[in-house]
Structure 1
Amino acid sequence: MHWHAYLWTGAGTDRASEAERRPSSPDFATSPLPPMRTGDWLAKPAARVAATFEEAGQATTWMAAEYTKTRDQLHPPEELPLEGRLDSALDLLPRGVDVQWGEWLQSGRFLTIGVICCPNRHVTHPCPIRRPSG
């Protein structure tokens, strides 16, 4: 197993566009929005993969770095300490559980930081990096 990292920041209200957040939508592949189910990130084009990791510790280091970049923009301010989030992620990822954090930012923006297990136990999408392009 390995992990793919995904990142999205945008207007929080855009997340209401549920149709394009589902793989059955013709707009899914080109939509910048995060999918409704975490595992469906794997159905997005490979260009959406922010990073790929072979070790869970590398993945959580990436998550911490991305989270820290926007920490001062959180609205409301941080409620769950980063250390606790990372401990949980380090426990879950090796067991095949996706980890995705969603946070409201100032000015109505929303941040999604996700690390998705590949292969994934909940969806059958092929690896976005290793699947044939076509």
Structure 2
Amino acid sequence: MHLHCYVWSGIGEELRNEAERRPPLPPADPGPFTSSPLPPMRTCDWLLKPARRIDASAATPDDALTWLAERYRAMESSFLRPADEARIGLDVRLRNAREALTGGVDVQWGIWLTGGRFLTCGVVCCSPNRHAAYRCPAS
């Protein structure tokens, strides 16, 4: 197994556009879903997005945790509710993410930012993924 890391930051209101966040049932044209910059509704569906959407690939859960921590720290000064986020904290997030990834479970973090923006960071288990039998987008 390896891991792919995805990030999206944008206007939170855009997340309501579920048509662009759900892959179509086959044999429909996947155009709106694959071309949309919006994150998918299900974390595993990131694997259906073009490979250029992969922000990083990780060989181990530790590599993925480093990536998650870097993304978190990069946006920390923009958190909408820093006191609320501090109650959870990065250490708890990383501990939970480690447990999930070690067990082959995808991880998705979502945090509201100032100015109505939203940050989502996802780490998806690839080859195999326990939720979907998708091929690796990087192969």
- TM-score w.r.t. length of structure 1: 0.94
Given that 1:20 and 1:26 are in contact with CA atoms closer than 8 Å, whether structure 2 keeps it comes out as: no
**2:6 paired residue number:** 6
The AA in structure 1 aligned to 2:123 is V
The AA in structure 2 aligned to 1:124 is A
The AA in structure 2 aligned to 1:128 is P
| Whole-angstrom distance in 2 between the partners of 1:9 and 1:97 | 23
- 2:122 corresponds to which of 108, 114, 127: 114
**2:35 paired residue number:** 30
**2:17 paired residue number:** 17
How far the C-alpha of 1:124 sits from its partner, in A, is 1.6
Find runs of 4+ consecutive structure 1 residues off by over 4 angstroms.
none
- 2:57 corresponds to which of 30, 38, 52: 52
Deviations 1:92-119 (A, max 9, x none): 1011100110000000000001100112
Deviates more, 1:71-80 or 1:99-108: 71-80
The AA in structure 2 aligned to 1:127 is C
SS in 2 for 1:27: helix
| Whole-angstrom distance in 1 between the partners of 2:67 and 2:107 | 12
How far the C-alpha of 1:9 sits from its partner, in A, is 0.2
- 1:76 corresponds to which of 78, 81, 99: 81
Structure with bigger helix share is: 2
- TM-score w.r.t. length of structure 2: 0.91
How far the C-alpha of 1:26 sits from its partner, in A, is 2.9
The AA in structure 2 aligned to 1:8 is W
Report percent identity of matched pairs: 51
How far the C-alpha of 1:18 sits from its partner, in A, is 0.1
The AA in structure 1 aligned to 2:72 is Y
SS in 1 for 2:99: helix
Gaps of 5+ in 2: 25-29
| Whole-angstrom distance in 2 between the partners of 1:4 and 1:125 | 13
Deviates more, 1:2-11 or 1:117-126: 117-126
